[in-house]
Amino acid sequence: KKIIFSGIQPSGAMTIGNYAGALRNWVKLIEEYDCFYCVVDMHAITVAQEPAILRKNTFEAVALLIACGVDPEKCALYIQSHVPAHAELTWVLNCNTMFGEARRMTQFKEKSSRHPENVNVGLFDYPVLQAADILLYQTNLVPIGADQKQHLELSRDLAIRFNSRYGETFAVPDAYIPLKESGGRIMSLAEPEKKMSKSDANENAYILLTDSPEVIVRKFKRAVTDSEARIAFHKTKPGVSNLLSIYSVFAKVSISEAEKQMQGLGYGDFKLRVADAVIAALKPIQDKYSRLVGDKEYINKVLDEGAEKARYAARKTLSKVYRKIGFYSTK
Ligand code: TYM
């Protein structure tokens, strides 16, 4: 049976980009495979966090994942810092990662120019921790959005290098990414040349999974399009294309079907149709979320069980790694 791993940062609410690029595939893959799904609080602290807010965001992220359909009965759902092997394997991988290859990571360059006041060593090491997350579980497939492709490539490179240096140790993971036009890369509603991101300063740029119907309508109404009045998926029309992508994901139709359904509409009505599809798809998620977020006892139980499963699987790989690299053991 194939093994799946993926992670999400608890940095505030999640966007429809997170859902379209990754979460909906987490849910899909859960039915068939052994899945490990992780809220990566250790990654989150590579940018400054307010402790009380990080704690709250982490709890809420878990509730929201379950509400999205990440059924904890069918996977290991847990918090990264509850499984010490993530940090332990990172150290070993650090010593097998070249400074130059870490420096090439575009997300590091981007984040360090966005936060010049806090270019910490953890931010530089972010992709190595991500590789440790993945390689610890002998992962075969990693459901992620297109922006994580380079990090996944690094994980593969590190696995291949380690295996050839020390003998077969890690499975070499493959990325599982939707096509860009089918949700792999949802763009900002305000600047459709940019990725939709929850860290955007302009809150009209993104739709949160927890946004109310009124807010969703308002944000879509303000979405940037173009001056053509033609609804078509085309690279010269990034705003309209992005709206078609979003509609295609949330109404569960192909891009060409989406184009067909929108033919003849003005942009105003088109935007409302997209908003309606998103609102309808998010309704059951939001209902479930508001029930779960009050049930701390249940969430804590899920997390304890998830961490236990993950610790067991992670220990196996870490022991193997320690043996291969020559760490002394009394066993
Ligand atoms: P994070 O929390 O930034 O994003 C979580 C997932 O959402 C995807 N995503 C998008 N997909 C499409 N369009 C968008 N606009 C969009 N924005 C975000 C991301 O690609 C990601 O899959 N580094 C990871 C967290 C992580 C991880 C891992 C992932 C840590 N360890 C191991 C996989 C495996 C991240 O960026 O999370």
Q: Binning pLDDT at 50, 70 and 90, where does residue 11 land? A: confident
Q: Binning pLDDT at 50, 70 and 90, where does residue 331 land? A: confident
Contacts of 295 (CB under 8 A, 6+ apart): none
State if residue 133 touches ligand 1 by the CB under 6 angstroms criterion: yes
- Mean pLDDT for 116-144 is 97
Phi-psi region of 73 (alpha: psi -120 to 50; beta: other; left: phi over 0): alpha
State if residue 307 touches ligand 1 by the CB under 6 angstroms criterion: no
Contacts of 20 (CB under 8 A, 6+ apart): 145, 178, 183, 184, 186, 245, 246, 249, 250
Q: Has residue 13 got a pLDDT over 90?
A: no
State if residue 144 touches ligand 1 by the CB under 6 angstroms criterion: yes
248-274 pLDDT, tens digit per residue, is 999 999 999 999 999 999 999 999 999
CA 120 to centroid of ligand 1, rounded, Å? 20
| Identified catalytic residue from 195, 219, 237, 271 | 195
Contacts of 213 (CB under 8 A, 6+ apart): 279
State if residue 273 touches ligand 1 by the CB under 6 angstroms criterion: no
What is the DSSP secondary structure assignment for residue 266, as one 8-state letter?
-
- CB atoms closer than 10 angstroms to residue 25: 23
State if residue 9 touches ligand 1 by the CB under 6 angstroms criterion: yes
Annotated catalytic residue 320? no
Query: 229 or 157: which carries more pLDDT confidence?
Result: 157
CA 149 to centroid of ligand 1, rounded, Å? 10
List, in order of start, the domains of the chain with CATH numbers.
3-178+296-325 (3.40.50.620), 203-290 (1.10.240.10)
Give the lowest-confidence range in 62-66, 110-114, 310-314. 110-114
Q: What single-letter amino acid sits at 106?
A: T
275-325 pLDDT, tens digit per residue, is 999 999 999 999 999 999 999 999 999 999 999 999 999 999 999 999 999
Please give the number of the atom of ligand 1 that sits closest to the Cα of 184: 12
**Cα–Cα nearest to 128, from 13, 37, 46:** 46
To test ligand 1's pocket by mutation, which of 6, 14, 15, 18 has the most ligand atoms within 8 angstroms of CB?
A: 18
Q: Could you give the CA distance from residue 179 to residue 153 in angstroms, rounded to a whole number?
A: 17
